[in-house]
Chain A
């Protein structure tokens, strides 16, 4: 896949659970190398769209196109919101990460190479044999990313992966993702409801509200009008000389 190739396109997509329509008329194009954030309040349909992209939820109507490299899911990595692993179950970092290879074809030698590469990329080199339950919460979160990376994906999908992390671990984790996006040209879809994270790292945004999705580059999307419409509160948006976008919620009835 070349840089800037279309990775996925959604056209007029309608997603529903039974009779309940969650998202309507979703039009979205994600290109290779983009760090795309799905942003919106809880229950606005972000995870639903992810499920459709992963093929778990079939669209009611509309078209969802994936690059042929991704059509068999082999080159898609997924980091779930939480991993409900039975804590009484014995496992090592290595066994946990290698589970990510399900659905891919690799020889034993390739598997070892991929494991070492994935662990090195997330800073867990030398920890393959460690008991999964003896490592810290932050390291487990990295192991989750390594489990997705071991597939050597072209597209990495992360569903609110920073939930439950402390500030320092969250910062390290997000820098790691930005690094992967920059150095490995990995396309990232990151679901969150934290505006500050999106403002700092996104190249593009999809903002979910009232069953609709508005999409565009970060600069176009992080505007006072757009954010006030979505969140229903006053916000102030500023950009510092380095290009870093700052968003502040203004107190009701106040100027700021």
Chain B
């Protein structure tokens, strides 16, 4: 099994590396999402990113290739994915409640509007529809060396920031009122966190699709939450879970000829079930 995986390395090493780095990046960001109880926000931001890609494809279809070739490039698709996910994260983050609408209501609106519009916009374009279905279903095959570098840099920066400011991040995530009282500018922190979440999700969606992105965002953090007694070690356990499960998932997918993203997310879901059951079984045995 391992040999077969290693033999596929020369062909798929960018896919494997990008997949693991996406897992590392999103699992770190996901600890914050889970700590702030914003799991649905992760789904809405992922969906908004898909809308950005659909819109980029629609604009690309209209644009004259000779005068504005960039509008049909991968760069434009990625930019639109990131911009839309950042906007969604900023719109739906708590603290910016306007009028009578809670951030949960806005999150629901973003999710539903993005899910319906992304299909409607490309519904008359067979290629566009296929691309949106591919994004929703998730496929990480085809990641490039640029993806590997981009996710490596983002994951490295996120890990460094988490290590350097872990206590501030924890206080902001756990008790924003206290964070404001000790001098943290919580509105700026919230905006920065939302923008970072949007950036990470937007780039990941483009490379790995919605299922893998959303799965890596919330499942490793939820597994860590069930395994850890404190929030701080979750920042270590979640990435280990994401990358470890990614490694096992890719090996199994390669051996049994399954799609790697679905295999990894299925394994993470299984791991979460075990993480839920084990403490309950221990308590039951006592």
Contacts and interface: CB of A to CB of B under 8 A. Distances in A.
B174 A91 contact: yes
Interface in A155-199: 157
A131 B35 CA distance: 16
B180 A88 contact: no
Question: At the interface, is chain A mostly helix, strand, loop or mixed?
Answer: loop
B96 to A, nearest CB: 16
Interface stretch (B106-114, B199-207, B211-219, B227-235): B227-235
Nearest to B234: A90
Interface in A69-122: 72-73, 78, 80, 83-86, 88-92, 94-95, 98-103
Interface in B55-92: none
Contacts of B175: 80, 83-85, 99
B229 A92 contact: yes
B168 interface: yes
B231 A78 contact: no
Question: At the interface, is chain B mostly helix, strand, loop or mixed?
Answer: helix
A157 B184 CA distance: 17
A55 interface: yes
Given A99-B170, A99-B175, A86 B35 contact: yes
A80 B178 contact: yes
B64 to A, nearest CB: 49
B152 to A, nearest CB: 30
A95 B178 contact: no
Contacts of A72: 183
A244 interface: no
Nearest to A147: B178
A252 interface: no
Contacts of B36: 86
B174 A85 contact: yes
B164 interface: no
Given A56-B180, A80-B181, A102 B174 contact: no
Contact of B171 (A54, A73, A89, A99): A99
A90 B173 CA distance: 13
B179 to A, nearest CB: 7
Interface in B240-269: none
Contacts of A99: 167, 170-171, 174-175, 178
B1 interface: no
B171 A80 contact: no
A73 B174 CA distance: 20
A99 B170 CA distance: 8
A49 B182 CA distance: 16
B183 A103 contact: yes
Contacts of B182: 73, 78, 100, 102-103, 151
A17 to B, nearest CB: 15
Contact of B167 (A78, A98, A147): A98
A84 B35 CA distance: 12
Contacts of B229: 90-92, 131
A73 B37 CA distance: 29
A126 B63 CA distance: 69
Interface in B10-67: 35-37
Contacts of A100: 178, 182
Contacts of B177: 80, 83-84
A86 B232 CA distance: 15
B191 to A, nearest CB: 17
Given A86-B37, A90-B225, A92-B229, A78 B174 contact: no
B218 to A, nearest CB: 13
A90 B231 contact: yes
Contacts of B181: 54, 56, 73, 78, 80, 157
A55 B170 contact: no
A189 to B, nearest CB: 12
A94 B230 CA distance: 9
A250 to B, nearest CB: 38
Interface string A231-251: 000000000000000000000
B178 A83 contact: yes
A51 to B, nearest CB: 8
A56 B184 CA distance: 9
A66 to B, nearest CB: 12
Contacts of B179: 102
B37 A88 contact: yes
Interface string B152-174: 00000000000000011011001
Closest 7 pairs between A and B when the two form their complex, measured CB to CB: A78-B181, A95-B230, A73-B183, A103-B182, A99-B171, A54-B181, A102-B171
Given A54-B180, A56-B180, A86-B37, 7 more contacts: A89-B225, A95-B170, A95-B231, A99-B175, A100-B178, A102-B182, A131-B229
23 contacts: A56-B181, A73-B181, A78-B182, A83-B175, A83-B178, A85-B175, A86-B35, A89-B174, A89-B225, A89-B231, A90-B234, A91-B229, A91-B230, A92-B229, A94-B230, A95-B232, A99-B175, A99-B178, A102-B168, A102-B171, A103-B182, A103-B184, A151-B182
